[in-house]
Structure 1
């Protein structure tokens, strides 16, 4: 099992940072890669034509390895989840009267594109909410999502892990049901890929979109996406010259080429070869691969075992183990504890978590240790007084 990796980060010892779902602290290696990129950019003669392609292709291969994709050309480099989902919205084959199934309170980037599309095309959005009072909340939520997928469903758009409270959705069952009715499956992997195992060949999602600044340990304005066969040959959001056949030959760029590079290259953003962000993403994704998501899960699970014991004693409400992940989970307050009191105590002890809806979102990583969990437990006890 992995040991604590705090030495690989620059974190203040005065802050109990349990908030990777908000934004990961920078690995020292990622920070250094960005600095080196900036330093190289000082002198344009150091940047060769091949630099516009080699590093981008390396990054795509790394992400393909992480999600177990057998073709790195199906990976696109983009700036944000909103961009990746806009590609989906632009290319969804749909007609009036069909529906899109989503989970309640998904992150907005996986909702706004479908609302706009529904208004334009006459679609219906079926939003499936959980029963927060149920002791089998996650199981029931998954079942209701399956039941919502019907003959009129054109797309199911979900996260792997709910961003607000860490509820895990059974993507294998959802994929099977969506295939039965001919609907595509689109996944926002931002809060899971990099910390929780994901196998695109097993799940066979049609699209997977992942922001990089959380569990992929990378910089902001960085996103990696996978597009399956459904999106082959469809329309990009922008006409990127780097995505055209033969663009490696700078001497022939004005011999305009209509044909794109294969598979998902057409969905790359303009400026995909950013000399600062791409090296940072390479460093971040490389480290995640080296750690392995299965080991990250095991570390976080072992680390938080004492926390869940105390949460149960204090009357906090949390998801059943079968429907939660170890790196991100929400806890809801018992009636005798006020949210404002919790916020006050956490601020006093410099505990960084996120408050999302009715849940306190806790998201540990390898830089956390037993001391961090002890500080959190003591703060929760203090809020109960």
Structure 2
């Protein structure tokens, strides 16, 4: 059954509470990708036309995060993007992260141990207080396992005027949460969760000081100032902007991102956030869970997975608990159905 939300249609939204795993595409995106697959099948696909979708996706990410377009680079995954960042931090750098952090945000830094880089895990409150004592903070704005939200304002205040680099994975926030992160050295997000796009693309914004310290280890033809003029031959000629860190686009993924991100950026983001938090917080009240302004809710309820599956509720299990997420296409019917299944 098709459901309309925020001016778009979504086919599988009824009972779908699994957006922290993957988001549902709006129908206009499905139509565009289907049409493009048809041109591929027929041998009439126009490859240079994907450049327009790359540009639109980049601009959409910049608008959603509140950063300049020229600071945004295109990657394939969060970990590959952060690999470039981790390779650029100095030998012996001290990195701090949250205990239990999603490993795509931490493994790239832990893999630098041969250079003397250390990664320390702290509880969120301690991390915020101690951030300025470290060279790098690498953490998610919203935790994948349980939806916990970092006190980003306290972190900003704690590192203001210091040399501490801030690296924030916003994959589980961007799309439902309103953010303004122009002060952060690195933001990064995959597009296939709350950004409603096919898997295969991630976007990363870079501060000037971070960008200057990085080496484009994956330099390729698409990282050139004029990509179609840098297909063959030396010398190296890369873009002056963060585009010099671009990877070659994953066609159908960037097509989707070039449609979905501008759509999300065009919405009233306060209204989207209020909608998602309204559903999540009502669930917390109904189940007498601790307050937490997050669209992700962790439910440590025995037997819940089986009950949800029988009721046709689509969710996931993370860190030993049921994890549900409320996005712009969810409504009160999904919440009531979830509560009924949990109380069965």
Please indicate, yes or no, whether the TM-score normalized by the shorter chain is above 0.5.
yes
Q: Pick one of 70, 74, 82 that aligns with 1:73.
A: 70
Once the two structures are TM-superposed, the CA of residue 186 in structure 1 deviates from its matched residue by 0.3
Partners of 1:89 and 1:114 within 8 A in 2: yes
Q: In the alignment, which of 51, 54, 59 is matched to residue 53 of structure 1?
A: 51
Query: Corresponding residue for 1:149?
Result: 131
Q: Counterpart in 1 of 2:253?
A: 277
- 1:120 correspondence with 2:131: no
Check the 8 A contact 2:56/2:262 in 1, yes or no. no
Distance of 2:277 and 2:61 partners within structure 1: 24
Structure 1 range deviating more: 351-360 or 106-115? 351-360
| 2-structure distance, mates of 1:12, 1:192 | 19
Contact 2:137 2:164 in 1 (8 A): yes
Report the equivalent of 1:211.
190
CA contact (8 A) 1:23 1:213 kept: yes
**CA separation of 1:187 and 1:219: change in aligned 2, threshold 3 A:** same
Q: Quick one: distance in 2 between partners of 1:9 and 1:52?
A: 24
In structure 2, relative to structure 1, the CA distance for the partners of 1:260 and 1:375 (3 Å cut) is same
Q: Residues of 2 paired with 1:249 and 1:45: CA distance? A: 23
Local SS of the residue matching 1:232: helix
Q: Deviations over 1:21-66 (max 9, x none)?
A: 11112221121221222233356666265x3533322221221112
**Greater Rg over alpha carbons, structure:** 1
1:177 match: 158
Q: Distance in 2 between matches of 1:372 and 1:52?
A: 36
Q: Distance in 1 between matches of 2:44 and 2:21?
A: 38
1:11 matched residue in structure 2: 12
Which whole-Å deviations, capped at 9, do the CAs of 1:152-198 have from their partners, x for residues lacking one? x1100011111111111122321332344411000111000111011
Runs of 4+ in 1 over 6 A off after TM superposition: none
Find out whether 1:264 has 2:242 as its counterpart.
Answer: yes
Deviation, structure 1 residue 245: 3.4
CA distance in 1, matches of 2:132, 2:229: 49
Q: How far is the alpha carbon of 1:149 from its aligned partner?
A: 2.5
- Matched residue of 1:24: which SS? coil
What's the secondary structure of 1:360's corresponding residue? strand
8 Å contact from structure 2 (residues 105, 139) kept in 1: yes
Q: What CA distance in whole angstroms lies between the structure 1 residues aligned with 2:280 and 2:181? A: 28
Q: 1:331 to 1:342 in 2, by over 3 A?
A: closer
Q: Counterpart in 2 of 1:350?
A: 312
Query: Aligned Cα RMSD in Å?
Result: 2.3
**Given the alignment of the two structures, is residue 369 of structure 1 paired with residue 334 of structure 2, yes or no?**
no
Contact 2:82 2:105 in 1 (8 A): yes
Q: Which residue of the partner structure matches residue 336 of structure 1? A: none
1:161/1:169 contact within 8 Å kept? yes
Select the residue among 230, 242, 256 that pairs with 2:222: 242
Which stretches in structure 1 are left out of the alignment for 5+ residues? Answer: 130-140, 334-338
Structure 2 residue runs without a partner (length 5+) = none
- Give 1:302's aligned residue: 278
Give the deviation of 1:108 after TM superposition: 1.2
TM-score normalized by structure 2?
0.90
SS in 1 for 2:96: strand
